[in-house]
């Protein structure tokens, strides 16, 4: 337990330190009271891209982790002695460490994806520099997230190997602390914007209450909510500050880095960029170092995608480069169809009647989706809808008047249009709740805020703050209770390395030990990969739970290349 707590504290320090460095370099003219609370959120992004850059030339092994962590811890103690507001910093360190500790204590990993490809890919990153054509071994390696890179670099001689689980817990703990302080400290928001931010905060505490639910989807939605907070805070789109555009662009790119489907969020910075160029010098904006950094990060992601799959965006076959030895366009097309059909709730009985490629066309999937998955969406979104309805009734009862003419709020309208567009794309292409959770929530909240904007609220803003504080305390208490209840109900507390999350098994009762995998060789007796009849989990790499015919491996200038002959 002490080891787990210390690891969470070290993780808090690492992400805060990197975030502090990032803010000083890129946001030095925009450092305010909220900057301290944003530090870990920026630190997570910065460390992820550092890990990605390193993996182009080196494995993310223990030596790399030791050097990086040593430098960052030294840096932290250096700035801590000179920090002007140690009280606030200590509160941040305490809150984030405690919350991340509670979130991760005895938790399950994201099932079954962590066992199928999250953990196996982390193992690959720690043992190898980038492997060309790795999607030929397992197509899910093309769906990996930047999160796997930050988990892989959490690799040190001084911590348990399960240290790889810590960064996600730290990120969400930083996010929760940011939410609380955003609501309490932001003086620039009117009542309507306060209500908007309040309901995103309430939904976040409800939606992100369990570590096992995060996976690769959770961080993507977290950073989409960060985009919305940035949009709420914008005073004038026509006079957009470069730092506001930089943050939104960076968060959008990072959404894409977590989930390829989140590439649609890049619509937002593109629109803002077009709007801001009406009043700013276009050339000056394009060559700004902050925009160049965003372009560099995006280029790194695309380059990584090409090297591991042969495609700019996997599994979109139209983005694939046919001339590369490891590109398999036909397989990519098949994977894309399977992924879309799966997200549209295809069932075995439906497969017998209609092929996947036909099922996904012309809304033939809608009845099956409505029968199975729509119920889950209603179940998940109903608590938010309930609170919005109760709040609307209170507003109507206490308002001074009901206007005859619909009033318009430009900020609300923009967010509503964005959320409607993103939700529509989500619904048409990949309508699983976990893929569109944040889009749906923002759509509901923006519609609600446009409704209440029609009423003159007969309460002071201080009253709203007080009510909001009580609700946030209630939400935080609920998050703590949910996790304490989970900890109390853990069935097997005797497994190896309890209370760290298991990384060798998905079973609640198994002892959490590495398993022996079957090595697969080519005709020259070169090891290609390890085979596991079940999930590979965190074992030898590279590993696949598929037996693949005609798979070949070559070494090209020190890089492994995997292809199908």
pLDDT value for 283:
58
Joined together, the tokens standing for residue 374 give 């729509």
Higher pLDDT: 226 or 353? It is 226
Q: Which residue has the higher pLDDT, 462 or 502?
A: 502
Contact 444, 438 (CB under 8 A): no
Q: Report whether pLDDT(285) > 80.
A: no
Rounded Cα distance between 139 and 142, Å, is 6
pLDDT of residue 349: 60
Q: Is residue 366 over pLDDT 50?
A: yes
Averaged pLDDT score across all residues of the chain: 88
CA distance linking residue 484 with residue 221, whole number of Å: 25
The tens digit of pLDDT for each residue in 456-481 reads 555 555 666 677 788 888 888 989 99
- List the alpha helices (DSSP H) in 234-347: 242-258, 267-276, 282-286, 289-309, 329-343
Question: In which residue are the tokens 């703590």 written?
Answer: 480
Which structure tokens are listed for 386?
């309930």
Query: What one-character DSSP code corresponds to residue 559?
Result: E
pLDDT, greater one: 293 or 189: 293
Q: Name 216's Cβ contacts closer than 8 Å, sequence gap at least 6.
A: 110, 113, 118, 143, 144, 145, 147, 148, 258, 259
Confidence of residue 228 (pLDDT cuts 50, 70, 90): very high
Query: In 3-state terms, what secondary structure has residue 521?
Result: strand
Query: Has residue 512 got a pLDDT over 50?
Result: yes
Report the pLDDT averaged over residues 1-9. 89
Cα–Cα nearest to 17, from 62, 47, 54: 47
Q: Is the pLDDT of residue 399 over 70?
A: no
Question: What is the pLDDT confidence band of residue 4, given thresholds at 50, 70 and 90?
Answer: very high
Q: Which residues, 6 or more positions from 367, have their beta carbon under 8 angstroms from its beta carbon?
A: none
Q: Report pLDDT for 134.
A: 96
What is the arithmetic mean of pLDDT over 71-92? 92
Q: How confident is the model at residue 450 (pLDDT cuts 50, 70, 90)?
A: confident
Mean pLDDT within 300-325: 95
CA distance 534 to 11: 31
Does residue 75 carry a pLDDT above 50? yes
pLDDT over 90, % of the chain:
58
* Sign for the pseudo-dihedral over CA of 243, 248, 253, 258: positive
pLDDT of residue 234: 84
Please, which residues bridge with residue 554 across strands? 561
> What pLDDT sits at residue 192?
67
Q: Inform me whether the pLDDT recorded for 235 exceeds 90.
A: no
| Domain ranges for the chain | 245-309
C-alpha pair distances (Å), 431 with each of 117, 143, 374: 22, 17, 9
pLDDT on residue 279: 56
pLDDT band at 404 (very low <50, low <70, confident <90, very high): very low
Place 99 in a pLDDT band, splitting at 50, 70 and 90.
Answer: very high
The predicted pLDDT at position 249 comes to 95
Is the pLDDT assigned to residue 135 strictly greater than 70? Answer: yes
Q: How many residues are recorded in the chain?
A: 565
On whether the CB atoms of residues 131 and 60 are closer than 8 A, the answer is no
- pLDDT single digits (tens) 143-164: 999 999 999 999 999 998 999 9
Binned at pLDDT 50, 70 and 90, residue 40 comes out as very high
- The percentage of residues in the chain with a pLDDT greater than 70, rounded to a whole number, is 90
Of residues 418, 39, 449, 406, the one with CA closest to residue 237: 418
pLDDT at 263: 94
């Amino acid at each position: 337990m002490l080891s787990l707590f210390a690891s969470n504290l070290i993780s808090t320090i690492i992400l805060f330190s990197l975030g502090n460095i990032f803010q000083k370099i890129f946001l030095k003219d925009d450092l305010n009271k909220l900057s301290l609370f944003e530090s870990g959120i920026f630190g997570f992004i910065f460390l992820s891209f550092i890990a990605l850059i390193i993996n182009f030339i080196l494995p993310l092994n223990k030596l790399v982790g030791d050097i990086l962590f040593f430098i960052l811890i030294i840096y932290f103690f250096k700035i801590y002695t000179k920090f002007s507001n140690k009280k606030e910093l200590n509160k941040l360190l305490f809150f984030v460490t405690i919350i991340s500790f509670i979130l991760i204590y005895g938790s399950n990993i994201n099932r079954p994806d962590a066992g199928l490809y999250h953990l196996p890919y982390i193992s690959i990153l720690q043992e190898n520099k980038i492997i060309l054509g790795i999607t030929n071994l397992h197509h899910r390696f093309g769906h990996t997230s930047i999160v796997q890179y930050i988990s892989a670099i959490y690799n040190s001689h001084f911590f348990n190997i399960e240290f790889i689980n810590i960064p996600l817990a730290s990120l969400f703990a930083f996010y929760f602390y940011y939410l609380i302080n955003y609501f309490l400290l932001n003086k620039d928001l009117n009542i309507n914007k306060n209500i908007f931010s309040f309901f995103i905060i309430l939904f976040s505490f409800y939606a992100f209450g369990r570590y096992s639910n995060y996976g690769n989807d959770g961080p993507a939605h977290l950073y989409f909510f960060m985009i919305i907070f940035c949009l709420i805070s914008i005073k004038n789109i026509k006079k957009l500050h470069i730092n506001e555009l930089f943050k939104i662009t960076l968060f959008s790119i990072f959404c894409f880095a977590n989930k390829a489907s989140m590439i649609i969020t890049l619509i937002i910075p593109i629109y803002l960029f077009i709007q801001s160029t009406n009043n700013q010098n276009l050339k000056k904006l394009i060559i700004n170092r902050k925009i160049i950094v965003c372009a560099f990060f995006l280029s790194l992601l695309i380059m990584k995608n090409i090297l591991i799959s042969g495609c700019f965006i996997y599994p979109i076959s139209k983005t694939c480069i046919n001339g590369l030895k490891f590109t398999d366009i036909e397989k990519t097309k098949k994977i894309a169809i399977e992924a879309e059909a799966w997200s549209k709730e295809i069932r075995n009985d439906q497969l017998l009647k209609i092929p996947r490629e036909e099922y996904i066309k012309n809304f033939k999937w809608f009845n099956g989706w409505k029968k199975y998955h729509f119920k889950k969406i209603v179940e998940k979104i109903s608590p938010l809808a309930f609170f919005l309805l109760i709040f609307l009734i209170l507003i109507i009862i206490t308002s001074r008047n009901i206007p005859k003419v619909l009033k318009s709020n430009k900020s609300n309208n923009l967010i509503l249009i964005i959320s409607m567009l993103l939700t529509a794309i989500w619904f048409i292409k990949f309508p699983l709740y976990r893929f569109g959770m944040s889009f749906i929530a923002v759509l509901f909240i923006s519609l609600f805020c446009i409704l209440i904007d029609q009423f003159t609220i007969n309460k002071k803003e201080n009253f709203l703050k007080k009510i909001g504080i009580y609700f946030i305390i209630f939400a935080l208490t609920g998050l703590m209770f949910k996790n304490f209840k989970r900890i109390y109900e853990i069935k097997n507390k005797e497994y190896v390395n309890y209370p760290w999350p298991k990384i060798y098994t998905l079973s609640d009762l198994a002892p959490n030990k590495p398993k022996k995998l079957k090595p697969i060789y080519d005709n020259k007796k070169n090891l290609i990969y390890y085979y596991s009849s079940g999930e590979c989990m965190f074992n030898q790499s590279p590993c696949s739970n598929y037996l693949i015919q005609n798979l070949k491996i070559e070494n090209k200038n020190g890089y492994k290349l995997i292809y199908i002959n």
